[in-house]
Chains A and B, each alone.
Chain A
Amino acid sequence: DARVTQTPRHKVTEMGQEVTMRCQPILGHNTVFWYRQTMMQGLELLAYFRNRAPLDDSGMPKDRFSAEMPDATLATLKIQPSEPRDSAVYFCASGGGQETDTQYFGPGTRLTVL
């Protein structure tokens, strides 16, 4: 049963610390998305990649957030320095393969910045 995996599932950190979230997309999927979910804003697209190249990161605060795909099996989202307003659930989704129109979501990383 192929699925998107994300680590860590939970992260509590203090303001100013660096946070790295990791995502392993479904094997064979060439598109990876990062979303943030909060009560106030709902689901927001932060960035997405196709074939490891960034296609759109307009939803991401550039001064502190960065997203990369070092290889086809790993996507990372970093926040440096973290702030309390970054507290949210961060989801990774992957798409492509035979169903190019459908995104499959990981379980999310719940981030709390104190």
Chain B
Amino acid sequence: AQSVTQLDSQVPVFEEAPVELRCNYSSSVSVYLFWYVQYPNQGLQLLLKYLSGSTLVKGINGFEAEFNKSQTSFHLRKPSVHISDTAEYFCAVSGPSGGYNKLIFGAGTRLAVHP
């Protein structure tokens, strides 16, 4: 069975600093990986996804993530954050055991950007 671990429940950071949100997954087979963002009182919005090909994936709002198969990780990065990036970020995985449409979410990481 697949699972996702987001290693940090909260990440405080100052504006314009770089940030990395960590995500590890467990699966013995090929998976698809996703990062979603949830702003307060809103639904989840897709930031980026990895299906295959290049391991460095670029998404919206200046975010990128790198798929590392040997470390089973898919960490999210941004070189310089803004106040508006304050939100909850969810890593998710889908794979053949649940059907590639079925997402398993991590517990989320709350990113707090301070001035």
Contacts and interface: CB of A to CB of B under 8 A. Distances in A.
Interface of A: 4, 31, 33, 42-43, 45, 48, 50, 55-56, 91, 93, 95, 100-108
A101 B49 contact: yes
Interface string B87-104: 000100010000111110
B83 interface: no
Contact of A45 (B46, B103, B106): B103
Given A56-B102, A103-B46, 14 more contacts: A31-B101, A42-B106, A43-B90, A48-B101, A55-B99, A100-B100, A102-B49, A103-B101, A103-B103, A104-B46, A105-B43, A105-B44, A106-B43, A107-B42
B63 interface: no
Given A101-B32, A101-B94, A102-B49, A45 B102 contact: yes
Interface in B68-115: 90, 94, 99-103, 105-108
Contacts of B46: 102-104
Chain B interface size, under 10 / 10 to 19 / 20 to 34 / 35 or more: 20 to 34
Contacts of A42: 105-108
Contacts of B99: 55-56
A87 B23 CA distance: 28
B51 interface: yes
Name the residue in A43, A50, A95 with the highest tally of chain B Cβ atoms < 10 Å from its Cβ.
A43
B55 interface: no
Nearest to A91: B43
A108 B105 contact: no
Given A31-B101, A42-B108, A48-B101, A105 B45 contact: yes
